[in-house]
Amino acid sequence: MNEPIRRLSVLVLLLFLTLMVSASWLQFAKAGQLGDDPRNVRTLYRQFGSFRGPIIVDGQAVVSSVPVDDPFNYQRTYLDGPLYAPLTGYYSIGPGRSGLEATENALLDGSADALFWTRLGNLFAGQEQEGASVELTIDATVQRAAYDALGDNRGAVVALDPRTGAILAMVSKPSYDPTTLAVHSSSEANRIYSSLVADQTDPLINRAIGGDTYAPGSTFKLIVAAAALDSGYGPDTLVYAPQELALPGTTATIQNYGGERCGASDNIPLIDALRVSCNTAFADLAMRLGWGVIERTAAKFGWEQSLNIPLSVTPSRLPDNPNNPQIAQSGIGQFDVRATPLQMAMVASAIANGGVLMKPYLVSTVRDPDLKVIEHTSPEVFSSSLSPDTAGALNAMMQAVVSDGTGSNAQIAGITVAGKTGTSETGADTAPHTWFIAFAPANDPVVAVAVLIENGGDLGNEATGGRVSAPIAKAVIQAAIDRAAGG
Amino acid sequence: MATVLEVSVRVGRRSEAVLLAIACAIAIAARAFVDANAGPGIGPSLAVYAVAVIAIAAAAHVVIRLKAPDADPVLLPAVFALNGLGLAMIHRIDFAYLASGRETHFAQTQTLWALIGIVGALVLVAVLPDHRLLRRYTYTAGAVGLVGLLLPLAPVIGREVNGARIWVGLFGRSFQPGEFAKIAFVIFFAGYLVSHRDTLALAGPKVLGIRLPRPRDLGPILVVWAAALLVQVAERDLGASLLFFGLFVAMLYVATQRISWVIVGMGLFAVGAVVAGTLFSHVGARYDAWLHALDAEVYDSGRSYQLVQGLFGMASGGLFGTGLGDGSPALVPYAESDFIMASLGEELGLTGFMAILALYLVVVQRALRAAIGVRDGFGKLVAAGLGFAMALQLFVVVGGVTRVIPLTGLTTPFLAYGGSSMIANWLAIALLLRVSDAARAGAADSARAKQVAR
């Protein structure tokens, strides 16, 4: 009977060999594919189970990973969630990640190349992988002031340091609390996410940079004015400012706010046209200058360019080959001209900084787990938008807007504020979006700000940039200047 | 002969002691890792455990030395190591369940079963001086096996767990008599086949080139075997019916040396598998869950959930595993029993998985070697049957977990949580030790005789 037993033992060997091959197939050849399967919660455990670096504002961690006693080991928590959500985004086992949690993921989870030596050290020390901490340029006081000033309005506020491009505040409302999405139940996280997506007020969208862009309305007159000044105009050059401007080749006309006249005569100085935000004057001026000049000027401020701060910014748009009536409409920031609030803050910033536009940025410093600096953002010039003379002239004209024009609601005692209002029509039945962009102090600016309120906020159809947005800008500027003086 | 004193035959008791020490070290170290990584840290309970493990290993060694001095020295340490790894893993899974809010004491219970199993095995080695004595109980064993299989179908004491009616409830405890029936049937098959092998192999009409045995020779064994299969099909115990079928064919082959039986057996099996898949919806569902495990539809219906979670677990273990206590084995339903190999694969990696398979391979090959070495046909059939049964059982359960074959419920010997399986497998090891002792005693005797002649 020995021969069959020997054969049996060969069969046994084959059976075991089959098992060994199948185990190798699973644990080696197919391991990656099975690991990437979205149904494999272990991959989530591993991803979410290591210490993720914090996001820091003004020395305080607004996003941090707190140790907890569950399979994920750490709970991502968001301090003042709604205040910072448009920046931080969320980190969820359900919908994934967004905002800085997404763009800075490699640094936060420690997988970035910059952290290679840290990883190696941890490996030898037998420690788990740790992420870097990401410090933001945001000033907590200014951010809070902007958030509070915005109240229950739908809209956005952006504040920049015009000298560096550092983003001091970026608020978008309505917002949401990322903590609710960080719950360790994918079904619960997905349920909350679905309700946020379904919300008509779009709380997940960072209105300051993303998703919708808005017609800039009269704030775009600064671009036209800049183009005019660069083309030889001066603040006192008289421009044609009729009560009603007929658009060539059509029966349509352009009127001023409330159908009023802009001045005593039909020809007024450019500075006055900007001060009272004269529509007919800038529509006519745009047609006289021609679209090419305006387009080039706008491009220097950032229109039609993508930008990462490192959050991805939706490019602001200009119309393509507009005809004369369309140029007239575009000259007052209507028709197909679109801008993000960040874009308009960049306009204010460039004028404030003597014509030099600094590249906006949100992350100042990245530190490894041992607090050693591994990345530090140095201010960069985005473009030299304007000649110093043009910038100086625009500065003076914007001061007039606040001291004696449509932007008087932004006046601050003892501080010269330069600003420009905007009220952009959104359609026959909907209230206008209101804008205010400004910087201060005018002679040595430390802050440039843009405020957008969707559909006029509380005032609805009665809303103008000066009435709705200027007071908010004022509060933000006040906070920024207090901080600059205190710090 | 009384003057013979110089006898230096290597029977390997010393090697066994060394290997046992290594097995103890593995068992204790594995539990220490679990306590450190998943539990409250290394504490006094580990010391108690270590002392107990070493004491039981020493006791086993002494009993073998006294009662089966020529037994295979590798068998016991290999099983000890497997048993130790299984206990550590179950201990680890207790912690995993505790972390998810479910308090279990599987390890405590399993340790008790292992103790009973080892003591039972040692007692069997001690009270059974010769395996051939069992041949007297050939038909008794067959009857015991059948009754054991039938018990779960009985009213009052029969229990159905997870769709399989293979349990018996007695004195507040549940047993799987099928685990013991396996051993009883090996004894019955061996005893019957060894008596009838000549007539089975040589007498009877020839059909299509295959010599069929006479019905009166094959009859009794065929009846018992068919009854066993029918019972298991009725109990929905797919894995066990597969195991019994394979075991029977293999033992028939060993007894008659006729490969045609294997071919006929495999053909019958293929027909049976197809028919069962078509006739019984639960069998068809198993095929479906196997072939289309990762399909969203099958997975979402829950049919392949356990299998796929096991695959995910093993995949996440990779080459070297997450480390004992650092994985998430409790995500797989029945991680402590049906899917303990997936749990081990996850935390010990492919390396550990291979090592465990190698340990089993050693046990099985040692059993087959004992079968070759022993002189009596009954012993050969018992050892070959027990060895092959373990190999086949492991293939069915691990093949199911690693998706080589459809998933069926069978226990993983010495590893999976469950008292019946633990005790029955230890008794099987006792029989193997006994047969190997007889096999090697012959060789040792002739070696002694040679020395005497010198």
Could you list the beta-strand ranges (E) of B195-268. 206-207, 210-211
Adjacent-strand bridge partners of A255 = A244
Q: Percent of chain B scored above 70 by pLDDT?
A: 90
Q: Which domain holds residue A267?
A: 217-362+379-486
Low-confidence stretches of chain A (pLDDT < 50) are: none
Question: A133 an active-site residue?
Answer: no
Report which secondary-structure segment, H or E, holds A81: helix A81-88
The H-assigned helical ranges of B128-214 are: 138-150, 177-202
Amino acid at B426: W
What pLDDT score does A295 carry? 93
B20 min Cα distance to partner chain A (Å): 24
**Closest partner CB to A28 (pick from B350, B371, B398):** B350
How far apart, in whole angstroms, are the C-alpha atoms of residue B23 and residue B210?
48
Domain segments of chain B as ranges: 13-453
| Lowest model confidence (mean pLDDT) among B43-57, B135-149, B267-281 | B267-281
Q: Is residue A4 in some structural domain? A: no
Dig out the tokens for B384 from the structure.
């070959």
- Which positions in chain A have a beta carbon within 8 angstroms of at least one beta carbon in chain B? 1-6, 8-9, 12-13, 15-16, 18-20, 22-28, 30-31, 33-35, 37, 39-43, 45-46, 69-71
What pLDDT score does A225 carry? 94
How far apart, in whole angstroms, are the C-alpha atoms of residue B443 and residue B448?
9
Cβ contacts of B384 on chain A, cutoff 8 Å: 1, 5, 8
Backbone dihedral angles phi then psi of residue B288, each to the nearest 5 degrees: -60, -45
Class of residue A117 by CB neighbours under 10 A (exposed 0-12, middle 13-18, buried 19+): exposed
In angstroms, the first-to-last Cα distance of chain B is 12
> What are the distances in angstroms from CA B66 to CA B60, B122, B125, B129, B130?
10, 11, 10, 11, 14
For every residue of A431-466, which 3-state class applies, written as one string? CCEEEEEEEECCCCCCEEEEEEEHHHHHHHHHCCHH
Adjacent-strand bridge partners of B425 = none
If you write DSSP's letter for every residue of B386-428 in order, what string do you get? HHHHHHHHHHHHHHHHTTSS-------TTTSS-HHHHHHHHHH
What pLDDT score does A487 carry? 55
Compute the mean pLDDT over every residue in chain B, rounded to the nearest whole number: 86
Q: What is the mean pLDDT of residues B227-242?
A: 75
How far apart, in whole angstroms, are the C-alpha atoms of residue B357 and residue B360?
5
How far apart, in whole angstroms, are the C-alpha atoms of residue A348 and residue A358?
11
If you write DSSP's letter for every residue of B307-365 in order, what string do you get? HHHHHHHHHHHTTT-S-TTSS-GGGSTTTTTTTHHHHHHHHHHHHHHHHHHHHHHHHHH
What pLDDT score does A125 carry? 67
Amino acid at B377: G
Dig out the tokens for A359 from the structure.
């590249």
Q: Is residue A400 in some structural domain? A: yes
| Torsion sign (Cα): B95, B96, B99, B104 | negative
* Coil/strand/helix, residue B26: helix
- CA B428, chain centre distance (Å): 8
Dig out the tokens for A336 from the structure.
């197909």
A49 min Cα distance to partner chain B (Å): 11
A30·B315 Cβ contact <8 A: yes
CATH number of the domain to which A472 belongs: 3.40.710.10
What pLDDT score does B1 carry? 44
Quote the number of domains for chain A: 1
> What are the distances in angstroms from CA A121 to CA A115, A128, A370, A373?
10, 10, 11, 17
Planar angle of CA A166, A423, A227, nearest 5 degrees: 65
Q: Is residue A333 in some structural domain? A: yes
What pLDDT score does B282 carry? 76
Beta-strand relationship, A312-313 and A307-308: antiparallel
List A92, A218, A316, A330, catalytic entry: A218
pLDDT at B388 over 90: yes
Place of tokens 């960049």: A346
Inter-chain contacts counted by CB atoms under 8 A, chains A and B = 128
Planar angle of CA A228, A229, A231, nearest 5 degrees: 65
Mutate to test the interface with A, among B198, B243, B254 (most CBs of A within 10 A): B254
How far apart, in whole angstroms, are the C-alpha atoms of residue A142 and residue A164?
16
How is the beta sheet containing A55-57 ordered, strand by strand? A74-78, A60-67, A55-57, A133-136, A363-367, A373-376
User: Where does the pLDDT of residue B360 fall: very low under 50, low under 70, confident under 90, or very high at 90 and above?
Assistant: very high
User: Where does the pLDDT of residue B210 fall: very low under 50, low under 70, confident under 90, or very high at 90 and above?
Assistant: low
> What are the distances in angstroms from CA B144 to CA A49, B138, B435?
53, 10, 22
Beta-strand relationship, A133-136 and A363-367: antiparallel
| Torsion sign (Cα): B164, B168, B173, B174 | negative
A22·B294 Cβ contact <8 A: no
Cβ contacts of A15 on chain B, cutoff 8 Å: 391-392, 394-395
Nearest CA in chain B to A28: B318
What pLDDT score does B5 carry? 46
User: Where does the pLDDT of residue B52 fall: very low under 50, low under 70, confident under 90, or very high at 90 and above?
Assistant: very high
| Torsion sign (Cα): B287, B288, B289, B291 | positive
The interface pTM score, or ipTM, of the predicted complex is 0.92
Amino acid at B421: S
Q: What is the per-residue pLDDT across B121-143, written as a single tens digit (0 to 9) for each? A: 999 999 999 999 999 999 999 89
How far apart, in whole angstroms, are the C-alpha atoms of residue A247 and residue A220?
19
**Closest partner CB to B257 (pick from A1, A18, A20):** A1
Q: Is residue A295 in some structural domain? A: yes
A40·B391 Cβ contact <8 A: no
